[in-house]
Amino acid sequence: MGNCSFRADALDQIENTTMSKNNFTFHYVIGRGGFGKVWRVEKKKTGQLYAMKEMSKARIITKRSVNSVMNERKLLAQLKHPFLINMNYAFQDREDLYLICDLLTGGDLRFHIGKKKRFNEEQTKFMIACMIVGLEYMHNNGVIHRDIKPENVVMESNGYVRITDLGIARIWTPENSQDTSGTPGYMAPEVMCRQNHCCAVDYFALGVIGFEFMLGKTLSLQNKSKLRNMKYLMAGALKQLISLIRQINHLSIIKCLQRKPANRLGLNGPNEVKQHVWMKDYNWQALLDKKLPAPYVPEQGDDNFDAKQANGNDPWKEENAELLRQNSLLLRRNSIQNLFSGYYYDVDLLRQQKEEERRQNLANAGGNQAANGPKSSGLSLLPEKALKPIKNNSKAASTASSSFVNTPTAKIQ
Ligand SMILES: Nc1ncnc2c1ncn2[C@@H]1O[C@H](COP(=O)(O)OP(=O)(O)OP(=O)(O)O)[C@@H](O)[C@H]1O
Ligand SMILES: [Mg+2]
């Protein structure tokens, strides 16, 4: 069974950058993450606008999420795609980590569904199609997102949407039953039940979003007292589906919501979803080229976000004030700071390095290299088997304890 590991590559080798928050002018807060705020910032030297995700190290430690944030930075260095929110710089100081990403001014889909209440079929299909293209790229590179939900899908000003927040994304491995992270309501049954899982979990979440957007109702999968009782949970979901089935002609949504991954659309990869009757005739190439006009375009301007929510009080901070204070003191220790070593990324430096390497190769190989094209981007292809779920190793599932259970979206303990 192949492992979908990335090849070490120049893209991820950068050890340092001169970038710091002093290189940016802070405009205002546009979002709230689990570890801090997301700011609209401007790079002083170029005037270019970006989104800056600021993450408090004390919070990260308190939520036992060091692995998670380091993993996110590592994946972002490897994944670049027009339907994902891409990273440009990453750096840190003693208190915080900073991720500088493409700025999207259209607002996230939680904001829009909250405002509009429901979308029509054409609008929903367009947004789902954008997500499929983003997921296809991630899955083809061996990465499962695992936290697809409206908050993690952000709109460009032209109505195209992109996937963000790789906080709990993972490179697929066959034994991943202990990784029980995600957001209840969008989390596939096999993740809830601590079973091995594959990219089909992301199509389940897509099904939930499609359902939510077209019907203007959320699927009630979140009965906390009965969360572990899958029979109850899925029977409830099924009942809702049946009662609403007359309103939906879109069997693909229902097929994405199949409890058993073996029956779920998307198990065999994104083509299966793309070729399903609901999506079959979609102009995928025009979508990929961003030439299809989006059927829903956000209001033009910069305030497609809930400023109250982004700037409001954070109850988690209040509840954990003492623990946070203690963990802030820990940040004085080098051993603690070392946990974050390597949290650097600088797209400009990497470009320069790559160019330098290319020139060097050309000089060394007397031009042979030019005929072979540039060095690989380092992305490895997903082995076909990665698309299949692996039979659950119940022993491992029952004994393993996830180190990520305390991420903000991980509610299963
Ligand atoms: N590049 C961006 N452009 C515009 N808004 C963004 C961008 N990135 C994030 N946001 C906004 O900020 C919110 C929080 O960001 P994000 O989802 O990355 O943080 P998070 O949920 O805390 O992640 P994590 O789970 O890693 O803590 C998003 O829901 C979105 O509204
Ligand atoms: Mg998020």
What is the tens place of the pLDDT at every residue in 32-87?
A: 989 999 999 999 999 999 999 999 999 999 999 999 999 999 999 999 999 999 99
Q: How far apart (Å, rounded) are the C-alpha atoms in residues 63 and 319?
A: 13
The verdict on the CB of residue 31 being under 6 Å from ligand 1 is yes
Domains of the chain by residue range:
2-105+315-343, 109-288
Element (H, E) at 398: helix 394-399
The verdict on the CB of residue 103 being under 6 Å from ligand 1 is yes
Q: How far apart (Å, rounded) are the C-alpha atoms in residues 243 and 259?
A: 18
**Active-site residue, from 12, 102, 108, 147:** 147
402 vs 113, higher pLDDT? 113
Distance of CA 178 to the CA centre of its chain: 19
The verdict on the CB of residue 29 being under 6 Å from ligand 1 is no
Flag whether the pTM goes above 0.85. no
For domain 2-105+315-343, say whether CATH 3.40.50.1100 is its number.
Answer: no
Residues 6+ apart with CB under 8 A from 164: 84, 85, 101, 152, 153, 154
Beta-strand pair 37-43/49-56 = antiparallel
Domain made up of 109-288: CATH architecture: Orthogonal Bundle (1.10)
How does pLDDT run across 320-365, given as a tens digit for each residue? 889 999 999 999 999 999 999 999 999 998 898 889 999 999 888 8
For the question of residue 147 being annotated catalytic, the response is yes
Q: How far apart (Å, rounded) are the C-alpha atoms in residues 290 and 130?
A: 10
Q: What is the mean pLDDT of residues 295-308?
A: 86
Q: Do residues 85 and 101 make contact, with C-beta atoms less than 8 angstroms apart?
A: yes
How does pLDDT run across 139-183, given as a tens digit for each residue? 999 999 999 999 999 999 999 999 999 999 999 988 888 887 888
Residue from 154, 161, 305, 317 whose mutation best tests the ligand 1 pocket (most atoms within 8 A of CB): 154
**Measured from the CA of 166, which atom of ligand 1 is nearest?**
26
Tell which residue, 256, 293, 38, 216, has the closest CA to residue 135.
Answer: 256
SS3 state of residue 203: helix
DSSP letters for 323-383: HHHHHHHHTTSHHHHGGGTT--EEHHHHHHHHHHHHHHHHHHHTTHHHHH-SPP-SPPPPP
∠ at Cα 326 (322, 332), nearest 5°? 155
The verdict on the CB of residue 53 being under 6 Å from ligand 1 is yes
Bridge partners for 144 per DSSP: 170
